[in-house]
Structure 1
Amino acid sequence: MAVNGALPPPTFDLDAWANNYEGALLPLRLAHVATRCPPLARQSLTTAISAAKTGKNVQLYMRLCELAGHLGLDDLRTPDEAWVSKQDEGNKRELSRLEGELRGYKNNLIRESIRMGQEDLAQHHLVTGGPLPDLSNPQSLSTAGYNAAYQAFGKMRDYCTTPTHMAAMTLRLVYSAVLMAVNAQQTGGSAMHHFNSVLANASRLRTAGVKEEEQVKLTPIAIAMTGIAHLGQGNYRDAAASFRYTPAEYNNLGPIHGADFGRLVASANDIAIYGGLCSLATLSRQELIDKVLGGTFRVFLELEPHMRKAISLYTTAKYQACLDTLQRYYSDWSLDVFLGAAVIAGGNGSHVDRLFALIREKSITAYFSSFSEVSLASLASTFPPTTYAQTAMEDEVLSMIDSGRLDARLDALNGVLIAPKSDVRAAVHAEAKRAAEEVERTLLLRLHKVNAALAGLEIPRSKAGGGVGWGEVAAMGDGVY
């Protein structure tokens, strides 16, 4: 687990925050906190190691102890060898037993027994972290770790006899793919392939073919996980759309087929933060008013008032206040296992850094649109450097101009940003000329129809895709423009 740049303490209480989550992702969340926030490193790793010892994942426990050594926490770096040895032996015995039972089920050719045996084996791989890879065989990486659980769940497909069985299997595939993605991010690998698996299985989950009352519970999970996958891939506009359309039933959804995604992966509060940041970074002011503050997503925003406040401040052109509000929660969101992950594998910039930068660029562009020229000093005082934007205002503006994100010219000598001049008089004349030409064309078409009718000619309608012809004349004559 790589140690990233340090962050100041967050606004939340770590123990209360950790109580919102459970399952295999909880130790990974706490490990992410430890690597990013030194003041909380000891507390978070102590909690993570305790959580790991209550489970069966020996590999994760050893990784957490190794991380403690990297962070200089010598009292936590020494693993409990007795527990490791006992748990490892127990895991091997359990694996041998499950594999033997599955072989017996396959010999008896009872589909339901094979499906349940395959599911038990997959769950074992999930809670134990899967087998270790063979370092001498690079191909073993695809069948080691959580990959083994994902593949074992996938083998259930041939033995599922009802849509409910398929839905339960797909739900576990989604969860396994999320685990694989987070694990890859924390070990310096690429999570793109795993997030693609989340997208594919979430799409299947939305069309599982189960009864309506069961589909109503599956759809919110599918949409929310789709948003998380898009977020992990850096597709913020698609992520914003998914989070905005997540049904309000996701909140307090509870366990579905034995999996409570609100505690295992992301709570309703997390969905509010993810959706709010992605929307603020990618949507226009009017879209924020109509689709976020005025849409069904407002139910989620009520859970995170500071996010709703930040969006409201942006829509009322209070850009500095909006950015200040976001900055207060920068540490909180950087410690999130999805928002705080690196945009590029092995890189330093996280998704929250990228989202904040996009929101800042939008704010600067919107602020400048009200002026014909603005001094760089005034712009710098309105948008001071922050944790995620520490470059000089002149360099920042030049970068935006060069990339086409800001339509302006920079007078570097006088330190003034100048908006492009537009000839309003010429624009009005051009629009008037265009309108006059359209009126003249319409009148000519109507005159053609009248002349054709007087000559006793029948004008056929133009077929779809047939181009412009006499059918257009007929249509124009009927008053259809």
Structure 2
Amino acid sequence: MQIDVDPQEDPQNAPDVNYVVENPTLDLEQYAASYSGLMRIERLQFIADHCPPLRVEALKMALSFVQRTFNVDVYEEIHRKLSEATRDLQSAPDAIPESGVEPPPLDTAWVEATRKKALLKLEKLDTDLKNYKGNSIKESIRRGHDDLGDHYLDCGDLSNALKCYSRARDYCTSAKHVINMCLNVIKVSVYLQNWSHVLSYVSKAESTPEIAERGERDSQTQAILTKLKCAAGLAELAARKYKQAAKCFLLASFDHCDFPELLSPSNVAVYGGLCALATFDRQELQRNVISSSSFKLFLELEPQVRDIIFKFYESKYASCLKMLDEMKDNLLLDMYLAPHVRTLYTQIRNRALIQYFSPYVSADMRRMATAFNTTVAALEDELTQLILEGLINARIDSHSKILYARDVDQRSTTFEKSLLMGKEFQRRAKAMILRAAVLRNQIHVKVRGGGTGAGAAQLGTHTWAHGLVSIAVPSPGREPGGADAGQQPVPDEHQHVRVPAGPSRRICTPYPQLPALLEEPLGSRPRPPAWTPV
């Protein structure tokens, strides 16, 4: 049997989808209130799938929220999951009988009535759109497509919603309409996790004159930019480009961060803070995060993340890593951050190890293990991996448990770099002098595979084998294109000099005049030289 495997899937980077969180400290009601629409339902379902202690409560909340929409299929799915979770809870050996454990019965009357309402509304919107197209009013057609897309989104039909929002593009009559269309497409593309589509429409929205010209001066424009940066940050995070994701989240404005359909301001603080911690050096962390007046307001919503960043910057790595472990369970319940928690934590720890050792010539691994709240054996394994990856230039004395920095002679290294730069400058200077001399003396070069017309024949050029080209040099007293340019050339009136074809052309010639010519300063010879054939 043949099995098709996606070549883009890396098994080492594949997220663990079967993990279970047993000890969350999440206020579910407050968490759900930060989102709206389909995002609230999807996040609650994600928590129910990965957190047994909160499963029943999350499904009940999702069931009540989904009844405010036309999404009948999701209602039936959540009700089925809730029934299974309730049965599992009751059949547990340590189950405690409680009131209200039974799930609400499936409301078949609501299901049928909602399906009829959704169908009637769809027919009405479709009829209105046809009438708008008959009247050929672009603004009405655009709004008709948007209304139809909103209805499909409310019904949970994301594919048709994306089609309707995309069709509105042809009927946009202003930059404001284009931006609104882009935001709608971005929102649905995030739900579909089509991240390349998200980045494409973020770029399209940012290139509109409404955004490109006004910049940060307009409050409304700043709100749009914040939405675009948040969506781009999610896409970069999903692509594991953590530094780009951090830069996007850091550009968000706290006063204009109102995008509950995708993420909350607390998400911006957590996503941006952890990505910056994993990828920024000390200078970038201090300049872009700690000293950022805008991002400080986001960090006030997540004091634990703020304290982690400050502890890391102050080189208090043990307390920093301990606080990271304390909030790990809550991070694993975030549907967009959960696949990256392990990678981000590893990068943050590696960066802490590198920064700890960077000022030392040698370090006692016992004291280092105490600073990182780990054992010497585990620390030795981590340092070995960092040395093999080239992130730490050091050697380990496994017997004495001491880490020694490799002795690099900075003086010799600096001299070697200086000599290499001098040789490169010399090579570039000679190449420029050669080019200037060739142009000044009207030396014509015919590259192999070039034109073979009459003009080339009149110049008397010849293509050599093995990638060599020839230079046609005018004979003494004869200017190219002169009075006798139309006459048949005499074979010995042009001297051919072989030059290797390619980016670096070194002239190989028996003529002693050509090297002397290249030594002359520019402008010293007013006309082509009179060369004598050898």
Q: TM over 0.5: same fold?
A: yes
2:320 aligns with 322
Structure 1: runs of 5 or more not aligned: 131-145, 182-193, 254-260, 341-349, 443-468, 474-481
Q: 1:372 to 1:332 in 2, by over 3 A?
A: same
Q: Which amino acid aligns with 1:428?
A: R
- Structure 1-normalised TM-score? 0.73
In the alignment, the residues of structure 2 paired with residue 18 and residue 436 of structure 1 have an alpha-carbon distance, to the nearest angstrom, of 63
- Given residue 118 of structure 1, which amino acid in structure 2 is its aligned partner? H
1:21-77 Cα deviation digits (max 9, x unpaired): 211100111111112221111111110111111211112222323433564368449
Write the mapping of 1:162-241 to structure 2, written as runs, cut at 5 A. 162-181=174-193, 194-210=194-210, 212=214, 213=218, 214-241=220-247
Shift of 1:362: 1.1
Of residues 196-205 and 94-103 in structure 1, the stretch that sits farther from structure 2 once superposed is: 94-103
1:430 & 1:369 partners in 2: Cα distance?
18
Q: Which deviates further from its counterpart, 328-337 or 355-364?
A: 328-337
Q: Check 1:393–1:153 CA distance in 2 against 1; reply closer, same or farther (3 A cut).
A: same
Relative contact order: is structure 1 or structure 2 higher (C-alpha 8 Å, sep ≥ 6)? 1
Of 332, 335, 342, 1:353 maps to: 342
Residue 351 of structure 2 corresponds to residue 362 of structure 1: yes
- CA deviation after TM superposition for structure 1 residue 128, in Å: 0.4
Structure 2: distance between partners of 1:48 and 1:91: 20
- Report the CA distance shift for 1:400/1:158 in structure 2 as closer, same or farther (over 3 A): same
Query: Equivalent pairs: percent with the same residue?
Result: 30
Give the TM-score normalised by structure 2: 0.66
Q: Tell me, what secondary structure is at the counterpart of 1:418?
A: strand
Picking from 381, 391, 395, the partner of 1:405 is 391
Partner of 1:317: helix, strand, or coil? coil
Pick the aligned partner of 2:335 from 331, 334, 337.
337
Confirm or deny: 8 A CA contact 2:32 2:40 kept in the other structure. yes
Q: Are residue 84 (structure 1) and residue 111 (structure 2) matched?
A: yes
Q: Is residue 285–residue 315 contact of structure 1 (8 Å, CA) maintained in 2?
A: yes
Q: CA deviation at 1:243?
A: 1.1
1:21-36 superposed matches below 5 A: 21-36=35-50
The worse-fitting range, judged by mean Cα deviation, of 294-303 and 391-400 is 391-400
The change in CA–CA distance for 1:155 and 1:429 in structure 2 (over 3 A counts) is closer
Q: Deviations over 1:363-388 (max 9, x none)?
A: 122223344455665554443469xx
Structure (1/2) with the larger helix percentage? 1
Cα pair distance change 1:199/1:284, threshold 3 Å: same
Moved more, 63-72 or 104-113: 63-72
Deviation at 1:351, TM superposition (A): 1.2
Provide the alpha-carbon RMSD of the alignment. 3.5
Residues of 2 paired with 1:114 and 1:354: CA distance? Answer: 47
User: How many Å apart are 1:310 and its aligned residue?
Assistant: 1.0
Matched, 1:274 2:275: no
For the structure 1 residues 68 and 396, does the alpha-carbon distance in structure 2 shift closer, same or farther, using more than 3 Å as the test? farther
Residue 210 of structure 1: SS of its match in structure 2? Answer: helix
Aligned residues: 397
Match of residue 54 from structure 1: 68
Assess if the C-alpha contact under 8 Å between 1:208 and 1:215 holds in 2: no
Q: Aligned-pair distance for 1:235? A: 0.9
- SS of the residue corresponding to residue 84 of structure 1 reads helix
Give the aligned partner of residue 401 of structure 2: 416
Q: Measured at CA, do residues 61 and 411 of structure 1 come closer, stay the same or move farther in structure 2, by a change above 3 Å? A: farther
Q: Which runs of 5+ in 2 are unaligned?
A: 1-15, 91-101, 426-517, 523-534
In 1, are the aligned partners of 2:222 and 2:253 still within 8 Å (CA)? no
- Partner SS state of residue 264, structure 1: coil
Structure 2 CA distance for aligned equivalents of residues 22 and 420 of structure 1: 53
- Of the candidates 295, 298, 305, which is equivalent to residue 297 of structure 1? 295
SS of match in other structure, 2:334: coil
Q: 1:276-335: per-residue Cα shift (whole Å, max 9, x none)?
A: 000000001121111110124223223322222111111111111111122221122221
> What do residues 399-421 of structure 1 show as CA deviations (whole Å, max 9, x unaligned)?
33333333333455x37363343
3-state SS of the aligned residue for 1:409?
A: strand
Higher CA-based Rg = 2
Instruction: State the alpha-carbon separation in 1 of the partners of residues 284 and 39 from structure 2.
Output: 34
Is 1:149–2:161 an aligned residue pair? yes
1:428 is matched with 411
Aligned residue in 1 for 2:27 = 13
- Please say if residues 169 and 178 of structure 2, whose CA atoms lie closer than 8 Å, have aligned partners that are also in contact: yes
CA distance in 2, matches of 1:209, 1:55: 36
